[in-house]
Amino acid sequence: MHARSPAPRTAPSRGRGAVSNPQNRFEAERRESFDDGWSDDDTNLDEAALHTEVFEERTRSLITRNDSPDVPFDRSINPYRGCEHGCIYCYARPNHGYVGLSPGLDFESKIFVKVDAAERLRAELSAPGYRCAPIAIGTATDAWQPIERHRRITRAVIEVLRAHRHPFSALTKSSLVERDIDLLAPMARDGLVSVSLTLTTLDPYLARRWEPRAAAPWRRLQTMRRLHEAGIPVGVSLAPIAPFLNEPEIERVLAAAREAGARRAFYAPLRLPHELRHVFVDWLAEHYPQRAARVLARLREVQRGKGASPGRDRIGARTGGEGPWAELLRLRFEMALRRLGYEQDRFALRTDLFRREAQAAQLGLF
């Protein structure tokens, strides 16, 4: 049982992405904040209330499976719930509602650590019925977010994957991934790993506002170079692309990433599921009020507006969007990939080297 979220905040907080803390969709009671004239104007700006809180949890199963035709993998691992990076556009924000918390400031300041991640993964990979297929790491929350620096849960997970010679792909926007090059590089030589860096903008002003605690854009490019130089296949993710915000930078971002060693690239237009819409709209009104109406109107066009479920439910519509702007986005992206020499196919990872721990132990007897 977790503490209830505080009332929604309306003042921006230094180092945080969200400017509000809306209720999650599962709460039966609705709360509304108001000024009764007795509070200090600076009360809501007290950063002490925004220090990151860490909660430990144990999990029955670490590998999450999906059968969505929109997703290019069928299993994933997320060592953490919540993310300190505070990216305002993160589609995982509504997941905090499942633990009774807000998708706003709670998501980036109340982090859950899966302390038994390596133990659970070892058990799952050793199970007789397990069938090997590439695992995607960091698909919901960043596996190398700041808390990983001292908790080292992600590194422990990679050590288990290495011991089983199990393939995986990783997605991050953190330069902390460089710490684990000693594990990643040998696996890459065997075709067992690829790493993609999310790079949504080269503009430090925008980056500080919608990815406040992630590595700076120039630092992510440096990380790409270091991974590439270590022989690790590197990709770049331009997800999400938001109209009139980072959308004008598509070609520049792809060019910079290619020069840094990225071989493959993918993108997705911004989606605003569930409470994420409230969080994003509040942020947009705070930081880009002059563009807010245009941005939201274009997003409605791409997502075909509320209630247009037949279009949005078609395969690919949720991730690629629909309509003229979505088609223009696709054409711009594909033309840039061809011009810059990106490879079109996905990273191919080997599954034939997989071994169960029990089998490895038996071989040691001879």
Give residue 17's pLDDT band: very low, low, confident or very high (50, 70, 90).
Answer: confident
What is the model's pLDDT at position 97?
Answer: 82
Give every CB contact of residue 118 below 8 A, 6+ residues apart in sequence: 153, 156, 157, 159, 160
**Architecture of 51-344 per CATH?**
Alpha-Beta Barrel (3.20)
Task: Check residue 241 and report its DSSP letter.
Answer: E
Q: Give the residue with greater pLDDT, 43 vs 49.
A: 49
pLDDT confidence tier of residue 43, bands split at 50, 70 and 90: very low
Contact 355, 130 (CB under 8 A): no
Query: pTM here?
Result: 0.84
For the chain, what is the radius of gyration of the CA atoms?
21
Percent of the chain clearing pLDDT 90 (strictly above): 67
Please check whether residue 235 is in contact with residue 337, taking contact to mean a CB–CB distance below 8 angstroms: no
Residue 141 has pLDDT above 90, yes or no: yes
**Residue closest to 133 by CA, chosen among 88, 181, 90, 71:** 71
Strands 135-137, 75-77: pairing is parallel
pLDDT by residue (tens digit) across 285-317?
Answer: 999 999 999 999 999 988 774 433 334 444 455
Residue at token pair 């270091």 = 226
Share the mean pLDDT of the chain: 85
Mean pLDDT of 122-131: 95
Average pLDDT over residues 220-233: 98
Q: Indicate the domain borders of the chain.
A: 51-344
- Say which residues have a Cβ less than 8 Å from residue 215's Cβ, sequence separation at least 6: 173, 174, 175, 223
CA geometry: angle at 63 spanning 159 and 135, to 5°? 65
